[in-house]
Structure 1
């Protein structure tokens, strides 16, 4: 059934707010948290849930910089610098992993960037071999890489598969040449449908395609064409990200303004079209902007209310673990704390060389903040938060959960009035078009929001 978006409703809630990839958001991290705090947090994490281990590897290098990107990236670096960075990365992995209990199973490895697939296969293998030697891999582990299709060919796919990679995400962004040129991005080296077919043939699962709407030269018609081409490739998952234009934070984005950017109403139309096209093609809507095939683990996890989310994206409770991040700017997401590494390559390499860690800032969570995090995660991922279950999870009384989120019915009354949120027996259920303003709904349960730290993108 085709969904028609309520424009007035979406415009009503189209305000700036956190994306809630973490709680509290990264804007709350502070420099009083350093290397020793992180070591202590890692040791504590061994006795906390989830027991599983997830590893994030950040490769900051790109052959060319995309002007829309908000990631920590570098271009123009020679082979010697890249090789030295990998050596430093290996040193950090070896040291930090000593404090991670070998009784715990590593269930996920995620490579992000930057452009991880743009460095040599030999260097990638050195890092993966180090991870395998220092962590206890589960039999059904996932090892994924975010890849630019501009630098991915069949030979690289074979090499990655031989190393143990079994999942890939392709950053298509758009199929229109004019859009790619405006954001300084090259088109795919191998046609996307051929690449997806080959990935599946050699054993990759959870194949993901990323698109971005709100970029220069995109129109309703052109974005529909890009979505159609992506669906034609039959990926396991499709993502339609809303471009967050924050040039005050990422100065490179300022360059896009000379081309012009789609307005809010155009972006809503693009989201609406993508949603309807994906659903018509048989995909299940996941979270704010993801779609997966009905037999994909994301769709199954959503049905069972077991979907989860971290800085790397959506995941399932069965496979996700506490995240240990390696590399420049990488963020570790532990049950008790967040920790972020130095953002510049120079500072990162110097500090790891000196003492094995390069923590520049972090945040230790109180129990109340852990409770708020779970409430927001449940709403963002599963459109459902059972306060009684959350109280049981933390071994606290029900009213402690309400106190932690500083609950006030006035904060959610507009969502109830607009038929976006239902409350019954201490269960909060998001329905209808509430999924498209889920960030706004989450904000109503966020006591830290009133502190007003940082700048955020619009929620729609």
Structure 2
């Protein structure tokens, strides 16, 4: 159970630290020229492996909880034009990459990637295979809406090399899905899961809590149903209600949204159910993986990592080259994000220009801070010597750059949330719920950033 008194004590607005610095730091002073230079420089840097991200922004229908960068359309001409531009961008970026480097991760996100036809996805996968050197162990994943998924479609994906399917279930209760304007699954989740597993592919389940008609009891039932199907990985996302940013979300208020206490209860219950099963490890706050899954193994070995596509292992992740509208590349020392408008993206690429809108080049100090925070957030521990070896410096250098001070960590230690030794830091089980607060104490730049962030818990 989550200690509510600790929540009151530590809850405050902080970065999510899914990247460092946070995406709020990206700026338009970073140009396409900078991006090309960073791509060329990335060929000489570690990791040498390549991760590819393909962003498909299109959805046939708007889910009212959506906070993603999407484009609602069924216009085939527009989609075809976008895909043509996507292929051109892949060729443009690939021309700057050392193609002897292996691709160890391919991820399709959206939007609704499986709203495309098998032929459309197949053409892009064929292009990737013809250009890049694909590692035999490459993890090739795609996010799928069950409303547009059949067993035959899955077979087509497997034929293209996909070996991990992420099902955006959100909730098993159809009343919740209808209230959120989410289309119902075309085939049963049981049948889809069984078929994916029969092809020796990985299966992920994604859920959202905090939607209309959800209660602690109903969401607990959804998680128990998921446990019966034994997915390899499971995620419980907290619904972020920001109608001032996403006006369509205001429609959910008419159905009635759960209060903060109920949302916390859903999170608490889901966490307890998953952990008491004895079959899963907690990855971060809201991810879970089976104990024999590569993420759990990486966690035990202290080699868990995270990029903009989610949690991964040090072995599978590479420098991320992202394609499509709003896509974010994550290279050795920079981030680069494309424009967020479909028509503008198509126009720029067709003119032979990169679609970069903004980005960020990290200083050496920021790279060190990012590595420290990533290690802590992913692996629940931090070893000074390990990070120092990575940057060819001393442990004292790392402490100095991050502004580490045992005095600033005193409350965490006294509350049983953190253990400090000469070797480094170790987050305890209760401490995992306030890990963003701990990470913030290793971010000397936090107070310099006037951006607004979500609550830490």
Which TM-score band applies after superposition, normalised by the shorter structure? over 0.9
1:318 aligns with 2:327: no
Aligned equivalents of 1:254, 1:63: Cα separation in 2? 20
Q: Alignment partner of 1:130: what SS?
A: helix
Aligned equivalents of 1:317, 1:325: Cα separation in 2? 18
- Partner in structure 2 of residue 145 of structure 1: 142
**How do 1:297-308 and structure 2 match up within 5 A?**
297-308=294-305
| Correspondent of 2:256 among 249, 256, 260 | 260
Q: CA deviation at 1:448?
A: 2.4
| Correspondent of 1:51 among 42, 48, 51 | 48
Q: CA deviation at 1:247?
A: 2.7
Aligned equivalents of 1:411, 1:258: Cα separation in 2? 44
Question: In the TM superposition, what whole-angstrom CA distance separates every residue of 1:312-333 from its partner, at most 9, and x where no partner exists?
Answer: 1100001110100000000001
Q: CA deviation at 1:17?
A: 1.8
Question: In the TM superposition, what whole-angstrom CA distance separates every residue of 1:409-455 from its partner, at most 9, and x where no partner exists?
Answer: 34322211211111101411101211111122111111222123433
| Correspondent of 1:241 among 237, 246, 254 | 237
| Correspondent of 1:395 among 392, 396, 399 | 392
Aligned equivalents of 2:323, 2:227: Cα separation in 1? 34
1:213 aligns with 2:209: yes
Question: Retained in 2: the 8 A contact 1:143–1:167?
Answer: yes
| Correspondent of 2:273 among 267, 277, 282 | 277
Q: CA deviation at 1:268?
A: 2.0
Moved more, 10-19 or 41-50: 10-19
1:188 aligns with 2:182: no
| Correspondent of 2:306 among 278, 296, 309 | 309
Q: CA deviation at 1:258?
A: 2.7
Q: CA deviation at 1:69?
A: 1.5
Q: CA deviation at 1:222?
A: 0.6
Question: Retained in 2: the 8 A contact 1:193–1:232?
Answer: no
Q: CA deviation at 1:356?
A: 3.8
CA RMSD of aligned residues (A): 1.3
**How do 1:109-188 and structure 2 match up within 5 A?**
109-188=106-185
- Partner in structure 1 of residue 452 of structure 2: 455
**How do 1:353-364 and structure 2 match up within 5 A?**
353-364=350-361
Question: In the TM superposition, what whole-angstrom CA distance separates every residue of 1:210-263 from its partner, at most 9, and x where no partner exists?
Answer: 111122221011101111111111111111112222333333323223333222
- Partner in structure 2 of residue 89 of structure 1: 86
Aligned equivalents of 2:211, 2:349: Cα separation in 1? 38
Aligned equivalents of 1:346, 1:325: Cα separation in 2? 18
Question: In the TM superposition, what whole-angstrom CA distance separates every residue of 1:154-203 from its partner, at most 9, and x where no partner exists?
Answer: 01101101111110101111112222122211121111111111001123
TM-score (norm 2): 0.97
1:428 aligns with 2:425: yes
Question: Retained in 2: the 8 A contact 1:35–1:357?
Answer: yes
Question: In the TM superposition, what whole-angstrom CA distance separates every residue of 1:382-424 from its partner, at most 9, and x where no partner exists?
Answer: 0011112111110122222122212233432221121111110
Question: Retained in 2: the 8 A contact 1:380–1:439?
Answer: yes
Aligned equivalents of 2:29, 2:210: Cα separation in 1? 37
1:12 aligns with 2:3: no
| Correspondent of 1:32 among 10, 29, 33 | 29
Q: Which runs of 5 or more structure 2 residues have no equivalent in the other structure?
A: none
Q: Alignment partner of 2:316: what SS?
A: coil
Cα 1:391–1:269 shift into 2, 3 Å: same
Aligned equivalents of 2:82, 2:88: Cα separation in 1? 10
Q: Alignment partner of 2:59: what SS?
A: coil
Question: In the TM superposition, what whole-angstrom CA distance separates every residue of 1:58-114 from its partner, at most 9, and x where no partner exists?
Answer: 000001111211111011241010011000000000110111112211000000000
Moved more, 240-249 or 100-109: 240-249
Q: Which runs of 5 or more structure 1 residues have no equivalent in the other structure?
A: none
TM-score (norm 1): 0.96
1:204 aligns with 2:206: no
Q: CA deviation at 1:292?
A: 1.1
- Partner in structure 1 of residue 380 of structure 2: 383
Moved more, 393-402 or 90-99: 393-402
